Amino acid sequence: MKTKLLTSNTKIDKSMKLYPEYEASILQMLPGKGVCVNYKNCIKECLAFTGFSKVYKTVNQARQRRKDLFTDNLELFKKQLTKEIRNQVKRAIKKGRKAVIRLNGFTDIDWNKPEYYIEGFTIFELFPDVIFYDYTADANKVINNEHSNYHLTFSYKGNNGLEAKSLFSEFGINTAVIDLPENNQFKPIRSIQGDTHDFRFLDNPGSIVWLTFKN
């Protein structure tokens, strides 16, 4: 059975209702080795294992199938992803909207690496009119991002505090923080309520994005 790569979720649907000018989707694969940075430090708290996935086994089964295709047949994965993005762009144009895609739902893949090139281009270069966005715990990915159509929000994980402070203070990179008492040091800084919508590319630069802890 062929599993669709680009889908939606409750927050993406909510975001499109708030901002109907965008046609959005998300790529959701199970986290783990090969698709996440320092996955051992945060896999237990990963959102992939909360919400509907705790009730419906088919949710994470589909996420696993996408990951299996990614790890077992990358070329076929890239071919299918390219086709789905092109179809989404066509739908967006037909509706008079802008195509928006979040490539890392529960993963932290660096799509700029040569092995992920498609037809000799990064996916961001191949689709320059698509808005891509992600959360990432990879500081290098944030610093080295040269694509104007790829917006990255750094994820504070508790063990990457020095990187988070450096990216925020020196580069004004927005940083996502879970709203817990131990993270109150970020409270005085200009804040955004990240649960309102998922479209982080709309956030003002130099902000802390607060997210509710989910279990």
Tell me if 42 is assigned to some domain.
Answer: yes
3-state class percentages of the chain: helix first, strand second, coil last, to nearest 5: 45, 20, 40
Query: Domain containing 89: what range?
Result: 6-154
Tell me if 159 is assigned to some domain.
Answer: no
In contact, 122 and 113? CB cutoff 8 Å: no
Per residue in 2-61, pLDDT (tens digit) is 889 999 999 999 999 999 999 999 999 988 766 667 655 554 555 544 554 444 467 678
Per residue in 65-104, pLDDT (tens digit) is 999 999 999 999 999 999 999 999 999 999 999 999 999 9
Number of domains in the chain: 1
Tell me if 83 is assigned to some domain.
Answer: yes
d(CA 15, CA 53): 21
Tell me if 133 is assigned to some domain.
Answer: yes
Contacts of residue 47, Cβ cutoff 8 Å, sequence gap at least 6: 106, 214
- Count of beta carbons in the 10 Å neighbourhood of residue 47: 17
Tell me if 105 is assigned to some domain.
Answer: yes
Inform me whether the pLDDT recorded for 168 exceeds 70.
Answer: yes
Reported confidence tier of residue 180, pLDDT bands at 50, 70, 90: confident
Tell me if 132 is assigned to some domain.
Answer: yes
Tell me if 98 is assigned to some domain.
Answer: yes
Please choose, from the candidates 124, 153, 150, the residue with its C-alpha nearest in 3D space to the C-alpha of residue 136.
153
Structure confidence at residue 92 (pLDDT):
98
Q: Percent of the chain at pLDDT above 90?
A: 58
In whole angstroms, how large is the CA radius of gyration of the chain?
Answer: 17
Tell me if 202 is assigned to some domain.
Answer: no
